[in-house]
Amino acid sequence: MAEPRPMTVSAVQITAVDGEKEATVEKMLGFLDVAGRRGSELVVLPEVWTGLGYSEDKAYAEIAEPIPGPTTALLAGKAREYGMYIVGSMYEQDGNLFRNSSPLIDPDGNIVGKYWKTHLFDAPNRTDIQGGIRESDKVVAGDTLPVFDTVPAKVGVSVCSDLRFPEIYRELALNGAELIVCASAFLSPRFDHWEFFLRARATENQCWVVASGQYGVEPKSGIAFVGRSMIVDPWGTVVATAPDTEGVVTAEIDLAFAEEVKQRYPLMDQRRPDMYQTIGREKADVPLYRD
């Protein structure tokens, strides 16, 4: 068996309220204190945790800020105070562009990199959401899937609807990710989707998954979220789940367990990429879309 590699991870679950960014940030800083006192080495925040941005057409633009910027500076202070990594999604203003951005802040308070959400949530015909949602009307999609080499582990980052695309997680795993975070605002009532996607992504890629979600109903837009932030091991077992409230879920994990799972069942060694000819093709070249 591999030498144990313990790591303490946390996921923070909140209800972010549009138009109350200052109070929301202050609340998050309090939860980061909780995670820090628990000895967390990595803390995962939800998607667009500084504000959902769906209460009005341009609400996201009012919430957005440059990265680095004032909010990441506050996160950097907590990262330095407790010696931990912090990652989560927020609206970034990049010149005239807006992005769903996940900066990774290291224990020295430095932004070591960013992940820009690649698979935006466009569901204009959702009958349970007034007016539907087209995230691509607000932000520009990213086009890279970085894996960050942190001191405890190689970390991949995903955001919410990315979870429905197994190709993302396989790409991260093949590039060495031992732990993949999912910063989410996963819509209620799809708890069943949320849990089995997280378990499937962890199991099929034999890596740890740490997922944080927004919780409850955002009062300005009326949009509801699953919450249930959770930590899943490489065997697909949920080792910790947040209750139905705002708060912090924490667990000590063993990164070496991923190596043990890979020895039990060497899935990656048994891949046959020569057979997967359609996955990387453009839509026009895929039989599903041909007349």
pLDDT digits (tens, 9 = 90+) for 54-97: 888 889 999 999 999 999 999 999 999 999 999 999 999 999 99
Q: Note down the domain range covering 250.
A: 6-289
In the chain, at which residue ranges do the beta strands (DSSP E only) sit?
A: 6-13, 42-44, 85-87, 90-94, 97-105, 111-116, 122-123, 133-134, 147-149, 154-159, 179-184, 208-213, 215-217, 224-226, 230-232, 238-241, 247-254
Report if residue 1 sits inside a domain: no
Report if residue 273 sits inside a domain: yes
Report if residue 203 sits inside a domain: yes
Is 127's pLDDT higher than 90?
no
Whether the model clears a pTM of 0.85, i.e. scores above it, the answer is: yes
Q: Report the CATH number that the domain containing residue 51 is assigned in CATH.
A: 3.60.110.10
Amino acid 261: pLDDT:
96
Active-site amino acid positions: 47, 117, 160
- Say if residues 55 and 220 touch (Cβ distance below 8 Å): yes
d(CA 111, CA 61): 22
**Those residues with Cβ within 8 angstroms of residue 282's Cβ, 6 or more apart along the chain or in another chain:** none
pLDDT, tens digit, 9 for 90 and up, residues 11-53 = 999 999 999 999 999 999 999 999 999 999 999 999 999 999 9
CA triplet 201, 207, 213: central angle to 5 degrees? 55
User: How many domains does the chain fold into?
Assistant: 1
CA nearest to 45, candidates 30, 61, 32: 32
Report if residue 42 sits inside a domain: yes
Report if residue 282 sits inside a domain: yes
Is 132's pLDDT higher than 80?
no
- How far from 156 is each of 4, 45, 109, 132, 282, CA to CA, in Å? 21, 14, 19, 30, 25
Is 267's pLDDT higher than 90?
yes
